[in-house]
Structure 1
Amino acid sequence: MAGRCIGVLLRRSCSGTAASVTPPAKPGFWERMKEKKMVVWTKSLLRDYKEACKDIVVGAKDRPGKAALYLSLLAGVGVCSSRAPSEDSFHCSLLEASASLLLLSPWTRSGTSDGHVQRLMELSNEGRLRHLDLLVVSLVYEAPYDPECDLYNTQCPHLQPRMVDFPRRVLDIGFLGQWWLLRNKMKDFDINEEEFRHLPPGMRSITHNDLHSQENERLYESKYKPILMSEDPL
Protein backbone atom coordinates (compact mmCIF):
# COMPACT_ATOMS: atom_id res chain seq x y z
CA MET A 1 0.00 0.00 0.00
CA ALA A 2 2.80 2.37 0.90
CA GLY A 3 4.65 1.57 -2.31
CA ARG A 4 1.53 2.26 -4.36
CA CYS A 5 1.13 5.72 -2.73
CA ILE A 6 4.75 6.59 -3.38
CA GLY A 7 4.36 5.59 -7.03
CA VAL A 8 1.27 7.76 -7.39
CA LEU A 9 3.07 10.73 -5.85
CA LEU A 10 6.04 10.28 -8.17
CA ARG A 11 3.78 10.14 -11.24
CA ARG A 12 1.98 13.29 -10.14
CA SER A 13 5.22 15.17 -9.52
CA CYS A 14 6.62 14.11 -12.88
CA SER A 15 3.43 15.06 -14.67
CA GLY A 16 3.42 18.46 -12.93
CA THR A 17 7.02 19.11 -13.88
CA ALA A 18 6.37 18.17 -17.46
CA ALA A 19 3.33 20.41 -17.54
CA SER A 20 5.24 23.36 -16.09
CA VAL A 21 8.12 23.21 -18.61
CA THR A 22 6.58 24.15 -21.96
CA PRO A 23 8.67 23.96 -25.14
CA PRO A 24 9.24 27.25 -27.06
CA ALA A 25 6.59 28.04 -29.60
CA LYS A 26 7.61 27.78 -33.21
CA PRO A 27 7.42 30.99 -35.27
CA GLY A 28 4.32 31.28 -37.33
CA PHE A 29 4.05 31.21 -41.07
CA TRP A 30 3.95 35.02 -41.50
CA GLU A 31 6.91 35.56 -39.19
CA ARG A 32 9.00 33.12 -41.21
CA MET A 33 7.92 34.82 -44.42
CA LYS A 34 8.87 38.23 -43.07
CA GLU A 35 12.31 37.00 -42.07
CA LYS A 36 12.86 35.41 -45.48
CA LYS A 37 11.65 38.54 -47.28
CA MET A 38 14.00 40.74 -45.24
CA VAL A 39 16.95 38.51 -46.07
CA VAL A 40 16.05 38.45 -49.77
CA TRP A 41 15.53 42.23 -49.84
CA THR A 42 18.87 42.87 -48.12
CA LYS A 43 20.70 40.56 -50.53
CA SER A 44 19.09 42.19 -53.57
CA LEU A 45 19.93 45.66 -52.26
CA LEU A 46 23.56 44.77 -51.71
CA ARG A 47 23.68 43.17 -55.17
CA ASP A 48 22.31 46.36 -56.75
CA TYR A 49 24.87 48.51 -54.94
CA LYS A 50 27.63 46.17 -56.03
CA GLU A 51 26.57 46.38 -59.68
CA ALA A 52 26.27 50.16 -59.48
CA CYS A 53 29.79 50.48 -58.05
CA LYS A 54 31.13 48.24 -60.81
CA ASP A 55 29.46 50.39 -63.47
CA ILE A 56 30.94 53.54 -61.92
CA VAL A 57 34.44 52.07 -61.88
CA VAL A 58 34.16 50.83 -65.47
CA GLY A 59 32.78 54.17 -66.66
CA ALA A 60 35.57 56.07 -64.89
CA LYS A 61 38.19 53.89 -66.60
CA ASP A 62 36.61 54.35 -70.02
CA ARG A 63 36.08 58.14 -69.69
CA PRO A 64 38.50 59.56 -67.10
CA GLY A 65 37.91 63.17 -68.14
CA LYS A 66 34.16 62.92 -67.64
CA ALA A 67 34.66 61.16 -64.31
CA ALA A 68 37.07 63.86 -63.14
CA LEU A 69 34.57 66.54 -64.16
CA TYR A 70 31.78 64.87 -62.20
CA LEU A 71 34.01 64.41 -59.16
CA SER A 72 35.08 68.04 -59.25
CA LEU A 73 31.44 69.15 -59.52
CA LEU A 74 30.46 66.96 -56.58
CA ALA A 75 33.39 68.26 -54.55
CA GLY A 76 32.46 71.85 -55.40
CA VAL A 77 28.85 71.29 -54.37
CA GLY A 78 30.01 69.69 -51.13
CA VAL A 79 32.32 72.59 -50.30
CA CYS A 80 29.65 75.19 -51.14
CA SER A 81 27.00 73.40 -49.12
CA SER A 82 29.31 73.08 -46.11
CA ARG A 83 30.14 76.80 -46.23
CA ALA A 84 26.62 78.07 -46.88
CA PRO A 85 26.02 80.71 -44.17
CA SER A 86 23.21 80.25 -41.68
CA GLU A 87 20.63 82.68 -40.35
CA ASP A 88 22.67 83.32 -37.21
CA SER A 89 25.68 84.32 -39.30
CA PHE A 90 23.57 86.92 -41.12
CA HIS A 91 22.43 88.46 -37.86
CA CYS A 92 26.03 88.49 -36.60
CA SER A 93 27.20 90.20 -39.80
CA LEU A 94 24.38 92.71 -39.53
CA LEU A 95 25.28 93.55 -35.93
CA GLU A 96 28.95 93.94 -36.85
CA ALA A 97 28.05 96.30 -39.68
CA SER A 98 25.79 98.32 -37.41
CA ALA A 99 28.51 98.54 -34.73
CA SER A 100 31.07 99.69 -37.32
CA LEU A 101 28.75 102.48 -38.45
CA LEU A 102 28.00 103.57 -34.89
CA LEU A 103 31.68 104.22 -34.30
CA LEU A 104 31.57 106.94 -36.97
CA SER A 105 29.90 110.31 -36.81
CA PRO A 106 26.82 110.88 -39.00
CA TRP A 107 28.86 113.28 -41.18
CA THR A 108 31.45 110.59 -41.92
CA ARG A 109 29.26 107.55 -42.59
CA SER A 110 28.36 106.48 -46.07
CA GLY A 111 24.72 107.23 -46.79
CA THR A 112 24.34 104.05 -48.85
CA SER A 113 25.77 101.80 -46.13
CA ASP A 114 23.86 103.49 -43.33
CA GLY A 115 20.52 103.36 -45.18
CA HIS A 116 20.90 99.68 -46.07
CA VAL A 117 21.89 98.62 -42.55
CA GLN A 118 19.14 100.71 -40.94
CA ARG A 119 16.52 99.10 -43.17
CA LEU A 120 17.75 95.60 -42.32
CA MET A 121 17.75 96.41 -38.61
CA GLU A 122 14.21 97.71 -38.84
CA LEU A 123 13.01 94.56 -40.59
CA SER A 124 14.82 92.41 -38.04
CA ASN A 125 13.17 94.23 -35.14
CA GLU A 126 9.78 93.75 -36.78
CA GLY A 127 10.41 90.02 -37.28
CA ARG A 128 10.12 90.24 -41.05
CA LEU A 129 13.43 88.65 -42.04
CA ARG A 130 13.30 85.10 -43.37
CA HIS A 131 16.13 82.70 -44.14
CA LEU A 132 16.02 80.13 -46.94
CA ASP A 133 18.67 77.41 -47.24
CA LEU A 134 19.14 76.17 -50.83
CA LEU A 135 21.97 73.74 -50.00
CA VAL A 136 24.56 75.62 -52.05
CA VAL A 137 23.49 79.21 -51.34
CA SER A 138 21.39 80.89 -48.67
CA LEU A 139 18.86 83.65 -49.14
CA VAL A 140 17.51 86.27 -46.76
CA TYR A 141 14.28 87.83 -47.93
CA GLU A 142 11.62 90.19 -46.64
CA ALA A 143 8.30 88.89 -45.32
CA PRO A 144 5.19 91.07 -45.15
CA TYR A 145 4.35 90.16 -41.53
CA ASP A 146 5.80 88.70 -38.37
CA PRO A 147 5.25 84.90 -38.09
CA GLU A 148 3.41 85.38 -34.78
CA CYS A 149 1.01 87.92 -36.26
CA ASP A 150 -2.58 86.63 -36.33
CA LEU A 151 -4.26 89.21 -38.54
CA TYR A 152 -6.62 88.22 -41.32
CA ASN A 153 -4.13 89.32 -43.99
CA THR A 154 -1.59 86.80 -42.73
CA GLN A 155 -4.07 83.89 -42.80
CA CYS A 156 -5.87 84.50 -46.07
CA PRO A 157 -4.14 82.58 -48.92
CA HIS A 158 -5.37 85.08 -51.51
CA LEU A 159 -3.47 87.92 -49.83
CA GLN A 160 -0.12 86.15 -49.65
CA PRO A 161 2.82 87.50 -51.72
CA ARG A 162 3.10 86.06 -55.21
CA MET A 163 6.07 83.99 -56.30
CA VAL A 164 6.76 86.36 -59.21
CA ASP A 165 7.50 89.09 -56.63
CA PHE A 166 9.98 86.94 -54.71
CA PRO A 167 13.15 88.24 -56.47
CA ARG A 168 12.28 91.78 -55.41
CA ARG A 169 11.98 90.67 -51.78
CA VAL A 170 15.44 89.10 -51.65
CA LEU A 171 17.68 91.16 -49.38
CA ASP A 172 20.94 89.22 -49.42
CA ILE A 173 22.65 86.18 -50.90
CA GLY A 174 24.96 83.98 -48.83
CA PHE A 175 27.66 82.03 -50.62
CA LEU A 176 30.98 80.56 -49.40
CA GLY A 177 30.54 81.96 -45.91
CA GLN A 178 29.88 85.55 -47.03
CA TRP A 179 26.79 87.73 -47.35
CA TRP A 180 27.66 89.46 -50.58
CA LEU A 181 25.08 92.24 -50.78
CA LEU A 182 25.80 93.40 -47.25
CA ARG A 183 29.51 93.21 -47.96
CA ASN A 184 29.07 95.28 -51.12
CA LYS A 185 26.99 97.88 -49.31
CA MET A 186 29.57 98.18 -46.53
CA LYS A 187 32.39 98.90 -48.96
CA ASP A 188 33.87 102.35 -48.13
CA PHE A 189 31.34 102.76 -45.31
CA ASP A 190 33.53 105.46 -43.74
CA ILE A 191 33.34 107.77 -46.76
CA ASN A 192 30.42 110.16 -47.05
CA GLU A 193 29.60 110.59 -50.73
CA GLU A 194 27.62 113.77 -50.05
CA GLU A 195 30.81 115.65 -49.16
CA PHE A 196 32.16 115.16 -52.68
CA ARG A 197 28.93 115.77 -54.56
CA HIS A 198 29.81 119.38 -55.46
CA LEU A 199 33.30 118.52 -56.77
CA PRO A 200 34.04 118.08 -60.49
CA PRO A 201 33.56 114.53 -61.80
CA GLY A 202 37.31 113.96 -62.17
CA MET A 203 37.91 114.70 -58.48
CA ARG A 204 35.13 112.57 -57.02
CA SER A 205 37.07 109.31 -57.29
CA ILE A 206 40.54 108.45 -55.99
CA THR A 207 42.71 105.82 -57.62
CA HIS A 208 45.39 103.65 -56.09
CA ASN A 209 48.16 105.80 -57.57
CA ASP A 210 46.74 108.88 -55.88
CA LEU A 211 47.13 107.23 -52.50
CA HIS A 212 50.56 105.73 -53.18
CA SER A 213 53.00 107.56 -50.91
CA GLN A 214 56.16 106.85 -52.94
CA GLU A 215 54.63 108.28 -56.11
CA ASN A 216 53.47 111.39 -54.26
CA GLU A 217 56.89 111.89 -52.69
CA ARG A 218 58.59 111.51 -56.05
CA LEU A 219 56.37 114.15 -57.57
CA TYR A 220 56.91 116.42 -54.59
CA GLU A 221 60.70 116.15 -54.80
CA SER A 222 60.77 116.63 -58.56
CA LYS A 223 59.84 120.30 -58.25
CA TYR A 224 63.17 121.03 -56.48
CA LYS A 225 65.26 119.56 -59.26
CA PRO A 226 66.89 121.96 -61.70
CA ILE A 227 65.40 122.39 -65.10
CA LEU A 228 67.58 120.97 -67.89
CA MET A 229 67.45 122.87 -71.17
CA SER A 230 67.99 120.99 -74.36
CA GLU A 231 70.92 121.96 -76.61
CA ASP A 232 69.11 121.31 -79.85
CA PRO A 233 69.22 124.27 -82.23
CA LEU A 234 66.02 126.11 -82.86
Structure 2
Amino acid sequence: MTEPPGLGQAEEKRRLWGRLRAGRLASWCKSLLHDYAEACKDVAQGVRQRPGKAGLYVSLLAGVVSCSLRSPCETSFEASLLEASGALLLLSPWTRSSSSEGHVQRLLKLRNRGQLRFQSLLFFSLVYEVPFDTGADLYQVHCKYLKPRWIEFPSHVLDVGFWGHWWVLHSKMQNSDINDEEFRNLPEHLRTVSFNNLHSEANEKLFDEKYKPVFLTEE
Protein backbone atom coordinates (compact mmCIF):
# COMPACT_ATOMS: atom_id res chain seq x y z
CA MET A 1 0.00 0.00 0.00
CA THR A 2 1.53 3.31 -1.08
CA GLU A 3 1.32 6.58 0.89
CA PRO A 4 -0.60 9.54 -0.56
CA PRO A 5 1.65 12.17 -2.25
CA GLY A 6 0.63 14.86 0.28
CA LEU A 7 1.72 12.81 3.30
CA GLY A 8 5.14 12.11 1.77
CA GLN A 9 5.81 15.80 1.11
CA ALA A 10 4.72 16.72 4.64
CA GLU A 11 7.09 14.12 6.09
CA GLU A 12 9.96 15.48 4.00
CA LYS A 13 9.27 19.04 5.23
CA ARG A 14 9.25 17.88 8.86
CA ARG A 15 12.58 16.13 8.38
CA LEU A 16 14.06 19.23 6.70
CA TRP A 17 12.96 21.52 9.54
CA GLY A 18 14.29 19.03 12.04
CA ARG A 19 17.72 19.06 10.41
CA LEU A 20 17.70 22.86 10.30
CA ARG A 21 16.86 23.14 14.01
CA ALA A 22 19.66 20.78 14.89
CA GLY A 23 22.21 22.34 12.56
CA ARG A 24 24.96 24.89 13.21
CA LEU A 25 23.01 27.76 11.65
CA ALA A 26 20.14 27.26 14.11
CA SER A 27 22.59 27.16 17.02
CA TRP A 28 24.28 30.36 15.83
CA CYS A 29 20.91 32.14 15.48
CA LYS A 30 19.84 31.04 18.97
CA SER A 31 23.13 32.26 20.43
CA LEU A 32 22.81 35.59 18.62
CA LEU A 33 19.25 36.13 19.84
CA HIS A 34 20.32 35.24 23.37
CA ASP A 35 23.13 37.81 23.24
CA TYR A 36 20.76 40.50 21.96
CA ALA A 37 18.27 39.68 24.71
CA GLU A 38 20.97 39.97 27.37
CA ALA A 39 22.16 43.27 25.89
CA CYS A 40 18.60 44.65 25.95
CA LYS A 41 18.23 43.60 29.57
CA ASP A 42 21.49 45.39 30.46
CA VAL A 43 20.34 48.53 28.66
CA ALA A 44 16.98 48.49 30.43
CA GLN A 45 18.71 48.00 33.78
CA GLY A 46 21.09 50.88 33.05
CA VAL A 47 18.17 53.17 32.13
CA ARG A 48 16.47 52.41 35.43
CA GLN A 49 19.65 53.04 37.41
CA ARG A 50 20.74 56.23 35.60
CA PRO A 51 17.74 57.87 33.90
CA GLY A 52 19.49 61.23 33.48
CA LYS A 53 22.43 59.77 31.60
CA ALA A 54 20.12 57.66 29.46
CA GLY A 55 18.02 60.73 28.63
CA LEU A 56 21.17 62.61 27.58
CA TYR A 57 22.22 59.79 25.26
CA VAL A 58 18.74 59.58 23.76
CA SER A 59 18.71 63.35 23.19
CA LEU A 60 22.10 63.22 21.50
CA LEU A 61 21.01 60.33 19.31
CA ALA A 62 17.79 62.15 18.37
CA GLY A 63 19.80 65.28 17.52
CA VAL A 64 22.20 63.34 15.33
CA VAL A 65 19.34 61.65 13.48
CA SER A 66 17.53 64.98 13.02
CA CYS A 67 20.65 66.68 11.65
CA SER A 68 21.20 63.80 9.26
CA LEU A 69 17.62 63.94 7.98
CA ARG A 70 17.66 67.75 7.62
CA SER A 71 21.03 67.91 5.85
CA PRO A 72 20.38 69.77 2.55
CA CYS A 73 21.16 68.14 -0.78
CA GLU A 74 22.73 69.46 -3.98
CA THR A 75 19.32 70.18 -5.51
CA SER A 76 18.51 72.33 -2.50
CA PHE A 77 21.61 74.46 -3.12
CA GLU A 78 20.70 74.87 -6.79
CA ALA A 79 17.21 76.01 -5.83
CA SER A 80 18.52 78.44 -3.20
CA LEU A 81 21.05 79.91 -5.63
CA LEU A 82 18.44 80.44 -8.36
CA GLU A 83 16.04 81.93 -5.84
CA ALA A 84 18.68 84.39 -4.64
CA SER A 85 19.53 85.32 -8.23
CA GLY A 86 15.86 85.93 -9.03
CA ALA A 87 15.41 88.06 -5.91
CA LEU A 88 18.35 90.28 -6.95
CA LEU A 89 17.00 90.66 -10.49
CA LEU A 90 13.80 92.13 -9.09
CA LEU A 91 15.78 94.92 -7.41
CA SER A 92 17.00 98.06 -9.08
CA PRO A 93 20.78 98.21 -9.66
CA TRP A 94 20.81 101.40 -7.57
CA THR A 95 19.37 99.68 -4.49
CA ARG A 96 20.96 96.26 -4.95
CA SER A 97 23.64 95.27 -2.43
CA SER A 98 27.02 94.92 -4.12
CA SER A 99 28.09 92.28 -1.59
CA SER A 100 25.05 90.09 -2.24
CA GLU A 101 25.29 90.50 -6.00
CA GLY A 102 29.03 89.76 -6.07
CA HIS A 103 28.63 86.56 -4.08
CA VAL A 104 25.71 85.27 -6.16
CA GLN A 105 27.41 86.15 -9.45
CA ARG A 106 30.56 84.31 -8.37
CA LEU A 107 28.57 81.19 -7.52
CA LEU A 108 26.73 81.32 -10.84
CA LYS A 109 29.98 81.76 -12.77
CA LEU A 110 31.60 78.79 -11.03
CA ARG A 111 28.46 76.73 -11.56
CA ASN A 112 28.44 77.48 -15.29
CA ARG A 113 32.11 76.55 -15.53
CA GLY A 114 31.56 73.25 -13.72
CA GLN A 115 33.81 74.24 -10.83
CA LEU A 116 31.30 73.73 -8.01
CA ARG A 117 31.33 70.48 -6.05
CA PHE A 118 28.89 69.17 -3.47
CA GLN A 119 29.82 66.86 -0.61
CA SER A 120 27.44 65.41 1.98
CA LEU A 121 29.05 64.67 5.38
CA LEU A 122 26.00 63.01 6.96
CA PHE A 123 25.28 65.76 9.50
CA PHE A 124 25.97 68.72 7.19
CA SER A 125 26.89 69.42 3.57
CA LEU A 126 29.59 71.44 1.86
CA VAL A 127 29.81 73.30 -1.44
CA TYR A 128 33.36 74.05 -2.52
CA GLU A 129 35.33 75.27 -5.51
CA VAL A 130 37.65 73.17 -7.66
CA PRO A 131 40.16 74.50 -10.21
CA PHE A 132 38.80 72.65 -13.25
CA ASP A 133 35.71 70.99 -14.62
CA THR A 134 35.47 67.20 -14.43
CA GLY A 135 35.68 66.97 -18.24
CA ALA A 136 38.89 68.98 -18.50
CA ASP A 137 41.85 66.93 -19.76
CA LEU A 138 44.77 69.21 -19.00
CA TYR A 139 48.23 68.60 -17.64
CA GLN A 140 47.38 70.53 -14.48
CA VAL A 141 44.51 68.12 -13.79
CA HIS A 142 46.67 64.97 -13.90
CA CYS A 143 49.87 66.28 -12.32
CA LYS A 144 49.82 65.44 -8.62
CA TYR A 145 52.23 68.26 -7.80
CA LEU A 146 49.85 70.90 -9.15
CA LYS A 147 46.70 69.61 -7.45
CA PRO A 148 45.33 71.62 -4.48
CA ARG A 149 46.58 70.48 -1.09
CA TRP A 150 44.26 69.45 1.70
CA ILE A 151 45.45 72.27 3.94
CA GLU A 152 44.07 74.71 1.35
CA PHE A 153 40.63 73.08 1.31
CA PRO A 154 39.01 75.40 3.93
CA SER A 155 39.72 78.41 1.73
CA HIS A 156 37.81 76.79 -1.14
CA VAL A 157 34.64 76.10 0.86
CA LEU A 158 31.88 78.41 -0.38
CA ASP A 159 28.88 77.35 1.67
CA VAL A 160 27.83 75.09 4.53
CA GLY A 161 24.45 73.39 4.57
CA PHE A 162 23.02 72.55 7.97
CA TRP A 163 19.49 71.96 9.26
CA GLY A 164 17.92 72.61 5.87
CA HIS A 165 19.66 75.96 5.18
CA TRP A 166 22.70 77.16 3.28
CA TRP A 167 24.05 79.58 5.83
CA VAL A 168 26.66 81.53 3.87
CA LEU A 169 24.22 82.29 1.05
CA HIS A 170 21.55 83.13 3.60
CA SER A 171 23.82 85.61 5.39
CA LYS A 172 24.98 87.19 2.13
CA MET A 173 21.36 87.80 1.10
CA GLN A 174 20.55 89.66 4.29
CA ASN A 175 19.86 93.33 3.48
CA SER A 176 20.29 92.57 -0.21
CA ASP A 177 18.05 95.58 -1.03
CA ILE A 178 20.41 98.08 0.66
CA ASN A 179 23.22 99.54 -1.41
CA ASP A 180 25.95 100.61 0.99
CA GLU A 181 27.73 102.52 -1.77
CA GLU A 182 25.02 105.19 -1.61
CA PHE A 183 26.05 106.13 1.94
CA ARG A 184 29.83 106.02 1.65
CA ASN A 185 30.09 109.83 1.23
CA LEU A 186 28.07 110.54 4.37
CA PRO A 187 29.74 111.44 7.66
CA GLU A 188 30.68 108.56 9.90
CA HIS A 189 27.92 109.18 12.45
CA LEU A 190 25.27 109.09 9.72
CA ARG A 191 26.35 105.83 8.08
CA THR A 192 24.93 103.68 10.87
CA VAL A 193 21.27 104.03 11.76
CA SER A 194 20.17 102.49 15.03
CA PHE A 195 16.69 101.64 16.25
CA ASN A 196 16.68 104.72 18.50
CA ASN A 197 17.31 106.96 15.50
CA LEU A 198 14.31 105.55 13.66
CA HIS A 199 11.91 105.51 16.59
CA SER A 200 12.40 108.52 18.85
CA GLU A 201 10.22 111.22 20.31
CA ALA A 202 11.81 113.88 18.11
CA ASN A 203 11.08 111.90 14.96
CA GLU A 204 7.48 111.39 16.05
CA LYS A 205 7.06 115.13 16.54
CA LEU A 206 8.53 115.88 13.13
CA PHE A 207 6.20 113.31 11.59
CA ASP A 208 3.18 115.02 13.18
CA GLU A 209 4.40 118.48 12.16
CA LYS A 210 4.06 117.75 8.45
CA TYR A 211 0.30 117.35 8.80
CA LYS A 212 -0.21 120.77 10.40
CA PRO A 213 -1.37 123.67 8.22
CA VAL A 214 1.17 126.24 7.05
CA PHE A 215 0.45 129.90 7.90
CA LEU A 216 2.05 132.50 5.66
CA THR A 217 3.10 135.84 7.17
CA GLU A 218 4.18 139.09 5.59
CA GLU A 219 7.81 138.24 6.21
> What is the TM-score when the length of structure 1 is the normalising length?
0.75
Q: Which residue of 2 aligns with 1:192?
A: 179
Say yes or no: does 1:100 pair with 2:78: no
CA distance in 1, matches of 2:50, 2:198: 53
Q: Which residue of 1 aligns with 2:189?
A: 202
Deviation at 1:43, TM superposition (A): 1.8
Secondary structure of the equivalent of 1:198?
Answer: coil
Q: Which residue of 1 aligns with 2:140?
A: 153
Residue 132 of structure 1 contacts residue 139 of structure 1 at CA under 8 Å; is this kept in 2?
yes
Aligned ranges for residues 23-38 of structure 1 at < 5 Å?
A: 36-38=23-25
Report the RMSD for the aligned CA atoms in angstroms: 2.6
Deviation string, structure 1 residues 98-153 (Cα, Å, up to 9, x no partner): 11111122221111001100100000001111111111111111111111222222
The number of residues matched between the two structures is 194
Query: Where does structure 1 lack aligned partners over 5 or more consecutive residues?
Result: 1-23, 25-31, 225-234
Secondary structure of the equivalent of 1:46?
Answer: helix
> What is the TM-score when the length of structure 2 is the normalising length?
0.80
Residue 87 of structure 1 contacts residue 131 of structure 1 at CA under 8 Å; is this kept in 2?
yes
Secondary structure of the equivalent of 1:172?
Answer: strand
Runs of 4+ in 1 over 3 A off after TM superposition: 209-216, 218-224
Residue 209 of structure 1 contacts residue 215 of structure 1 at CA under 8 Å; is this kept in 2?
no
Q: Which residue of 1 aligns with 2:72?
A: 85
Aligned ranges for residues 130-145 of structure 1 at < 5 Å?
A: 130-145=117-132
For the pair shown, the structure with the greater C-alpha radius of gyration is 1
Say yes or no: does 1:67 pair with 2:50: no
CA distance in 1, matches of 2:73, 2:66: 15
CA distance 1:49–1:116, change in 2 (3 Å): same
CA distance 1:68–1:210, change in 2 (3 Å): same
Q: Residue type of the partner of 1:135?
A: L
Q: Which residue of 1 aligns with 2:8?
A: none
CA distance 1:218–1:71, change in 2 (3 Å): farther
In percent, how many aligned pairs have the same letter? Answer: 57
